Amino acid sequence: MGEMNERKKWITESKIRCQRLGLDPNKPRITNFLFHSEFKRRERLNDILIRSALPYMQMCGETFKPCGSILVLTDKEGYILKAHGPEFILRQKTKIGLGEGSSLREEDAGTNAVALAIRYKKPVYVVGKEYYLKIFQSGACFCAPILLNGELLGTITIVHPEKKGHPHTFTLIKVLAKLIEEEYKNLREGDFLISVVNSINITGVATYRDGVVKWLTNKAKDLLKIDRDRNILENFDQRILMDGELLNEIIDSERLEKSFLVVRGEYNDGFLFIFEPISKNLPEETTIKYIGAPYTLDDIVGLEGIKTQARRLAHQDVNLLIIGESGTGKELLASAIHNISLRAGEKFVVVNCAAMPETLFESELFGHKKGAFTGAHNDKIGRIEYADKGTLFLDEVGELSSEIQVKLLRVLEDKKVIPLGSNEARVVDVRFIFATNRDLGALVKEGKFREDLYYRICSPVIKIPPLRERKEEIPSLIDRLFLKIKDKHKGFVGGLTEQAKRVLMEYDFPGNVRELEKILEQAFLLCNKEYIDVEDLKLKSIEPTSIEEKVRQYKAKLIYEYFLINGRDIKKTCEELKLSERQVYRYLKEIKENKNY
């Protein structure tokens, strides 16, 4: 009785959500489906799930053929991966949008068993008028989630043409899901074993439960100094065979005088190990500095519009300005632009205007002659002259002192540089790429940045949006950064759980891409599980900001920008925005307290 009430509650709540979404119950077909390339990508991603389910779908399909039922397999998001049943029934379903690649998510298909099973991770059925969309109300569907260690893999569903299926249909779909789950485990272990055997760079060992070696890779023979029929306990203590999972555990070997990162899984009544040695000797820090540009446009995830602008401007030999908050990737973009420019074979020199002491900056940028000041024992070439024929990237240009601004303006106008203590101007051929996270226009009005220099460098401009304004790119960024981190560090972390990814999608990233990378790197280094979960992310706040709060933050930021444009004149700002002084002061106070702005 309790399960029945729970099911009805789910259906009622689902219908309310559909109404709030403005979903039309009379829509004649499902209109959201995957493009061919995306469908093929999901097929590849869910290959083991499809191989696990298909034999059972084909077997049950024959049983249900006389009554016109079909079986549907979806991925964890509700997109149809496979549909099996009589051909003419499948054609009819395709006409209403129920084909492979179609979406059965609640926002697309209304209240249905697949959407509910995904939301609650429990078996459920929906019949007749319990559906939200009228096109489904002549039938029924019985759905069960397919789970692995509590993580959702997808769903399996029996779609029945009549409002009432066979009395045992709901029991059957639950059994079917369990059979697919078991098959998935077996196939995944088998695929894992094959990949180990075929990978010559992995130190893989399979043992019986007592530690006697069944087989091992050639690399394992060399590294562990053991062979078949010998016991792995020759190298390690009993801990390596203890119950429970071993994931990214550091285990020492006294015999080998080495430490290893170890991952262990169960396989065929025994264990399968992968070892990765950990060096105890850290390499000496190199004194060689890379003078080329290390990044290309391929290193930039998303930002397609920005990359189009970059390609167009790269081939024009003009100076340019990149604007973006800290951590958005201004240096990465500058490096990529250099690498596709006519100066690609020349030097790419980086100068951070905020990081260098003002007393040394002039000498560093323009160079000096011997005896120009106390301590100038030799002639020194400046960064501008050093970058001759190449590109000079001046980061945080808004931090330049007024004296340096004057000299830089002269270089831009005359294309000549005069070292400190010299009267001789040296001709330079340098492309300047400037970057800032500050509002240079506001700095001009405050008298902190020269107007003539501002107009020299402010065109053309590329503006990189903050990560919170391009959240659709976060999943791709997570994938790219995670691979980068895996290449850099030792470990067997497989990725992130779906919940961890959802939390990152909600986070606002005041530190932008740089902060995302550091969050993932810390989680990777400290994770001792197969997948990084929410608690591993260590976010300052994992509570998503409400829409109302985001609107309020945006309004405060907008008022602050008007305030700066108007030279911090409160009355003028109030007049333009038609707000009271009290309202403006309240928003400015919020800005002051919020370090994100």
349 and 306 fall within a common domain? yes
CATH number reported for the structural domain that contains residue 344 in this entry: 3.40.50.300
Q: Are residues 248 and 271 in the same domain?
A: yes
Question: Which is nearest to 300 in space by CA: 291, 313, 309, 288?
Answer: 309
User: Which has the closest alpha carbon to 365: 355, 375, 446, 374?
Assistant: 355
On whether residue 185 sits in a domain, the answer given is no
Helix 581-593, helix 570-577: angle, nearest 10: 110
- pLDDT confidence of residue 572: 87
578 in the same domain as 518: no
Amino acid 267 reads: Y
pLDDT of residue 290: 34
User: Does 476 share its domain with 379?
Assistant: no
Longest dimension (CA), the chain: 99
Is the CB of residue 423 less than 8 Å from the CB of residue 416? no
State pTM to two decimals.
Answer: 0.50
Domain of 217, in residue numbers: 199-278
Instruction: Please tell me the distance from the alpha carbon of residue 597 to that of residue 591, in angstroms, as a whole number.
Output: 6
Task: Count structural domains, the chain.
Answer: 5
- Four-CA torsion 187, 215, 196, 276, nearest 10 degrees: 130
CB 328 within 8 A of CB 466: yes
Residues 6+ apart with CB under 8 A from 458: 321, 440
Euclidean distance between CA atoms 547 and 555, whole angstroms: 12
Q: Is residue 194 part of a domain?
A: no
Same domain, 217 and 302: no
Residues 165 and 25 in one domain: yes
pLDDT of residue 198: 47
- The whole-number mean pLDDT for each consecutive block of 10 residues of the chain, a chain of 597 residues, reads 80 94 91 88 91 87 78 95 89 86 93 95 93 92 93 93 72 91 78 52 82 84 89 90 73 85 77 75 31 79 87 88 92 92 88 77 86 79 90 92 91 92 91 94 92 91 91 89 86 86 88 90 88 85 58 79 80 86 81 54
Distances, alpha carbon 590 to alpha carbons 24, 261, 388, 556, in Å: 41, 48, 46, 7
Sign of CA dihedral 458, 459, 464, 469: positive
341 contacts: CB under 8 Å, gap ≥ 6: 314, 315, 317, 391, 431
Task: State the pLDDT at residue 298.
Answer: 84
